[in-house]
Amino acid sequence: MDFTKKLLHWHNKKNTRTMPWKGENDPYKIWLSEIILQQTRVQQGLQYYEKFMNTFPDIHQLAKAQQKKIFKLWEGLGYYTRCKNLIETAKKIVRDYNGRFPSTYEEIRKLKGVGPYTAAAIASFAFNAPQAVVDGNVQRVLARYFGITAPIDTAAGKNLYAKLALALLDKKKPGIYNQAIMDFGAVMCKPKNPNCTDCVFQKDCMSYKKGWTDLLPLKARSIQKKIRWFRYLIIENADGRIYIRKRTGQDIWKNLYEFVLWESSKLISRKKIAASDFFKKIFHEQKFEISAISEICSQELTHQTIRGQFVHIRIAKPIQVLGDYILVKKSRLKDYPFPKFITAYLQNPLQQLF
């Protein structure tokens, strides 16, 4: 089952999101709701939508109302240019279109305050035109599902998302499809804490597979790579074997091997390493010898920067708390796949500081 079919199946069977304008085909109501929600949270916008509909039930009532009354009703929504555009567009539709909304995307797009998204919403919901909506919810769903790293706030990125959205659109039911993908982004594929556990796309979602869910979509203006500090303990037993384990979960380097990892939010000074709580947890009362500490190593990934050090440690007897690690002879390390961050260090022992 492809993306579009799965989305529509979810919409028909599991989408319980309700809003006053959902399923509406009156272009006036759709337009009004979209203008209100352009820079307003849905919860706040609901009450304003209801107030406007009660006061101005059709576009003729809105067009002939005094500006003062309209602005008073808008009070608290902010971004008053939207209100000015609302008034101007209402008058234009009554004056030039006899109170009837234009029915094509191109004509709707020419209206004051109506951008590509709003025009597509009106055209598809009210007139069943095959126009794909591309808002923040849609971009987030597409970016995560397909693993798209093109920034959403660049010309190239916007063009890419627009083309992909149109290619996925159900041309026979564009309004239903558009509502489905926007709702999915709002209730399932949320900006924070998305419901990946119950997601119908989990098995095919690229960002879920790669652990990128919290990183996508990207914005060029605000791309700030997360810095993670990895301090690897190369713990060597008395018989010359070293502790390693396979990385699991949805983080980077899945299925690759690593030494004993101590990840921290910042660089920890060499003087404090041995006295840290992490070392106490690992070694308890057992004696250990730090034989070398490397220089700071770094690797740039697409969405984050990995920095860290390698700490060489010798012990006399096995450590009991390292249950998920295995002991491997140094000569056999080359048989295991390690991430570049580790292999680069192993191939350059001059980085070690004794």
Distance separating alpha carbons of residues 62 and 52, to the nearest angstrom: 9
- Give the confidence band of 255 by pLDDT, cuts at 50, 70, 90: confident
Q: Are 328 and 336 in contact (CB under 8 A)?
A: yes
The class that CATH gives domain 226-353 is alpha beta
Local confidence band at 250 (pLDDT 50, 70, 90 cut-offs) = confident
High-pLDDT (> 90) share of the chain, % = 58
How much is the pLDDT for 158? Answer: 93
Place of tokens 């220089």: 295
Q: How confident is the model at residue 222 (pLDDT cuts 50, 70, 90)?
A: low
Grade residue 1 by pLDDT with cuts at 50, 70 and 90.
low
Give the pLDDT band of residue 353 (cuts 50, 70, 90). Answer: very low
**CATH 1.10.10.10 at 3-210, yes or no:** no
User: What percentage of the chain reaches a pLDDT higher than 70?
Assistant: 97
HEC profile of 134-155: CCHHHHHHHHHHHCCCCCCCCH
Q: What is the mean pLDDT of the chain?
A: 89
Question: What average pLDDT does the segment 306-324 reach?
Answer: 88
In this structure, are residues 182 and 135 in contact, taking their beta carbons and an 8 Å threshold? yes
The domains of the chain are located at 3-210, 226-353
Of 160, 126, 130, nearest in space to 142 by CA: 160
Nearest one of 138, 161, 149 to 7, comparing CA atoms = 138
176-204 pLDDT, tens digit per residue, is 999 999 999 999 999 999 999 999 999 99
pLDDT of residue 354: 36
CB 328 within 8 A of CB 245: no
Give the pLDDT confidence score for residue 253 in this predicted structure.
85
Block residue for tokens 């708390």:
321
Tokens of 232: 């690897």
**Triad 293, 320, 228: Cα angle to 5°:** 40
Cα dihedral 176/177/178/184 (nearest 10)? 110
List, for residues 65-112, the tens digit of each pLDDT value: 998 889 888 877 777 788 889 999 999 999 999 999 999 999 999 999
DSSP 207-230: HHHHT-TTT-S--GGG--PEEEEE
Pairing of strands 304-315, 226-236: parallel
- Give me the helices (H) in 172-315, please: 174-187, 206-210, 270-273, 277-283
Distance (Å, rounded) from C-alpha 79 to C-alpha 83?
A: 8
Q: What's the average model confidence in pLDDT over 234-242?
A: 92
DSSP β-bridge partners for residue 193: none
Instruction: Show which residues are catalytic.
Output: 34
Question: 343 pLDDT exceeds 90?
Answer: no
The model's pLDDT over 260-282, given as tens digits with 9 standing for 90+, comes to 999 988 877 777 888 888 888 88
| SS3 call for 254 | coil
Q: pLDDT at position 224, please?
A: 67
Task: Write down the pLDDT at residue 80.
Answer: 75
CA gap 208, 199 in Å, rounded: 10
Contact 258, 217 (CB under 8 A): no
What is the four-CA torsion angle of 33, 35, 39, 43, rounded to 10 degrees? -10
pLDDT in tens, 118-171: 999 999 999 999 999 999 999 999 999 999 999 998 999 999 999 999 999 999
226-353 shares the fold of 3-210: no
User: What sections of 100-146 are H helices per DSSP?
Assistant: 105-109, 116-127, 136-146
